[in-house]
Chain A
Amino acid sequence: MSFELGDLSYALPILVLVVGGLLLLLMEAFSTGRSRAYLVPMTVLVVLASIAADVSVWSQVGEGGHSIMSGMLEIDRLSLFANAIFLTACGLTALLAGAYMQEHRFEFGEFYALIVFATAGMMILAAASDMVSIFLGLEIMSLAVYVLTGSWRRSPKSSEGAMKYFLVGSVASAVLLYGMALIYGAVGSTSLQAIANSKGAYVEPIFIIGLLLVLTAFAFKIAAVPFHMWAPDAYEGAPTPVTGFMAAGVKAAAFVILIRMCGTAFSRSELALGSTGWVSILKWVAVITMTFGNLAALRQENIKRLLAYSSVSHAGYLLIGLIATATVGNEARGPLLYYLAAYTFTTMGAFGVVAWLGRHGDERLQLDDWAGLAAKHPAAALAMTIFMLSLGGVPPTAGFFGKFYLFRAALGRADLTWLVVIAVLNSVVSVYYYLRVVTTMYFREPARESSPLQSRSVTAALVLAVIGTLLIGILPGWLVETASSALLGS
């Protein structure tokens, strides 16, 4: 296999995004004047072009997968569906960020190029079918997000969060690379398919160690307990639209590549199942992650930290989906992707409302700042309520059906029942702190005046997120079918 020009047509969504990112960078370089507001519609345009490319490639690849770029990327419906999730997160982030950066006075044009490149990195990661491209995609995504986290330069919290995120993320990358080196040593190839096909390598103990190191590194990236300690600080410190991008996009990308790796390289039953297989380890990680995330979220007074811990607990629910793909079978992939799509709209919306509330460098993150919001801004309070209900898994929102399909898929195996029971109990507990936000908005007297952002693009982003959350929730059928057709490939 070597490089062919025809490969490029399958990589079109990534190419469009990279070229668009370069154009955005040039526009920034050649623009005079102070405002960079015009880059927001430009970024949205790039995102829309990439979505169009994604849809056209979707029908082109059909049910199978196409290995392109000398086996570095595998373009199949799994990666294309994931692309749509990343692009949604990217577009919503761009819409939120313009007014947010202006309001807090750290506007800079490179922001848009960075989120576009980060999204391209996610796409590479989601389509990667070789350890080299996994490593590179992960690094492109991570480095761009580190910079974005620290981009509010005058906020000490922002640079502090960026530093912690960077150090933990880089250690995770080094651990990942060492694990990959051991796997390469045992197999003699970096291709996921070659790893899946190698017979003798599975008895090599260094392969197992390598696998555990790779999974540890990804546990850092998805902020699974006990590797979550960076998440609350990085989430709180980052500019709020970037926090949403991290919670939605980075997490989705890490899960998609986990689906791919667990479906190919680590899929052998002697590797996955049994008392020492990775499934039994992940079960415990999932339980601890859900429970710890929810318990820690219960006592948060800061809305961003509350959402950060909620995001940790959601990583736990998603891990159940990953376990289901290994034990129940590939049909569990559909619910997992559906959950990721629902979570993206919901979490982007929730962080969008948080970004909307702050003014003049004061982000208003304490729950007390939200008191009585419903009286003055009923529409925003309603939107936040919808997002909170969706995160908590209350019907008829997207979050409810996400959990419903995910848990139903996991129930396909009797030995996962206890896991689902714990997850359902956790969801019930989580409703408490989500409703706390809602009751604060509706039933408490306002403590201080609020005059949130007046911006069409922020309103548009919030409206889109509400529509997404409700539409996926009320009419879940089409998305489930689309997600389920992303089963195949590899």
Chain B
Amino acid sequence: MIPPTYFLYLAALLFAVGAFGVILRRNAIIMLMSIELMLNAANLTILTFGRIHADPHAHAFAFMVIAVAAAEAAVGLAILVGIFRNRRNVNIDELTLMKY
């Protein structure tokens, strides 16, 4: 049996990688994918704890998270296409129309 802690480590590392992606990259598509990584890390944590507690409710929770992630990706990509129509660029640093 693999110690469940390993799964939790993997999830934490995946969350960190996703968070680094959001912070370091300025390309909106990559940022969107990094957010998906963070959601997946959370899902892995939920499923691992579900296995530890032998609680199948965790699986239903994970199911909901996958559905939410799909909706979020669709909305994010729709906004992205909209922004690209306006200015042909998806680099966040160049979105500087509004300044303090």
Contacts and interface: CB of A to CB of B under 8 A. Distances in A.
A binds B: yes
Interface of A: 131-132, 135-136, 139, 143, 146-147, 150, 153-154, 156-157, 159-164, 166-167, 170-171, 173-175, 177-178, 180-182, 184-185, 188-190, 232-233, 236-237, 296, 305
B57 A190 contact: yes
B61 A153 contact: no
B45 A181 contact: yes
Given A136-B68, A174-B42, A177-B39, A160 B49 contact: no
Interface string B34-77: 01001101110110110011010110110011001001100110
A121 to B, nearest CB: 12
B4 to A, nearest CB: 10
A161 B92 CA distance: 11
Contacts of A185: 8, 45, 48-49, 52
Given A147-B79, A160-B97, 11 more contacts: A143-B72, A150-B83, A156-B86, A156-B87, A164-B92, A166-B75, A173-B68, A185-B48, A189-B55, A190-B57, A232-B100
B22 A171 contact: yes
Given A163-B95, A178-B15, A147 B78 contact: yes
A174 B45 contact: no
Given A174-B38, A178-B15, A184 B75 contact: no
B35 A135 contact: no
Contacts of A175: 38
B45 A160 contact: no
A150 B84 CA distance: 12
B60 to A, nearest CB: 8
Nearest to B44: A181
8 A-B pairs with least C-beta separation: A174-B38, A185-B49, A181-B45, A177-B42, A159-B83, A178-B42, A188-B53, A156-B86
A449 B55 CA distance: 67
Contacts of B100: 232, 296, 305
Contact of A170 (B43, B45, B60, B72): B72
Contacts of A132: 60-61, 64
Most buried by B among A157, A164, A171: A171
Given A135-B68, A185-B45, A162 B79 contact: yes
Contacts of B42: 174, 177-178, 180-181
B35 A170 contact: yes
A139 B70 CA distance: 12
The listed residue with most B CB atoms (<10 A of its CB), out of A153, A156, A170, is A170
A330 B98 CA distance: 41
B17 interface: no
A178 B98 CA distance: 32
Contact of A237 (B8, B19, B98): B98
Main secondary structure of the interface of A (DSSP, over half): helix
Given A185-B52, A237-B98, A163 B61 contact: no
B55 to A, nearest CB: 6
A174 B35 contact: yes
Nearest to A136: B64
Contact of B18 (A150, A174, A189): A174
18 contacts: A131-B61, A132-B60, A132-B64, A136-B68, A139-B71, A143-B72, A146-B75, A146-B79, A153-B86, A159-B83, A163-B80, A166-B75, A167-B92, A174-B18, A177-B39, A184-B49, A296-B100, A305-B100
A395 to B, nearest CB: 33
Contacts of B97: 156-157, 160
Contacts of B31: 167
Contacts of B38: 171, 174-175, 177-178
Contact of B72 (A160, A163, A173, A232): A173
Contact of B46 (A147, A153, A156, A184): A184
A161 B25 CA distance: 18
Given A167-B31, A174-B35, A188-B53, A182 B86 contact: no
Interface centre among A147, A157, A185 (most CB of B within 10 A): A185
B55 A188 contact: yes
A143 B75 CA distance: 7
A188 B61 CA distance: 13
Nearest to B34: A171
B28 A163 contact: yes
Contacts of A305: 98, 100
B66 to A, nearest CB: 12
Contact of B82 (A159, A164, A174, A178): A159
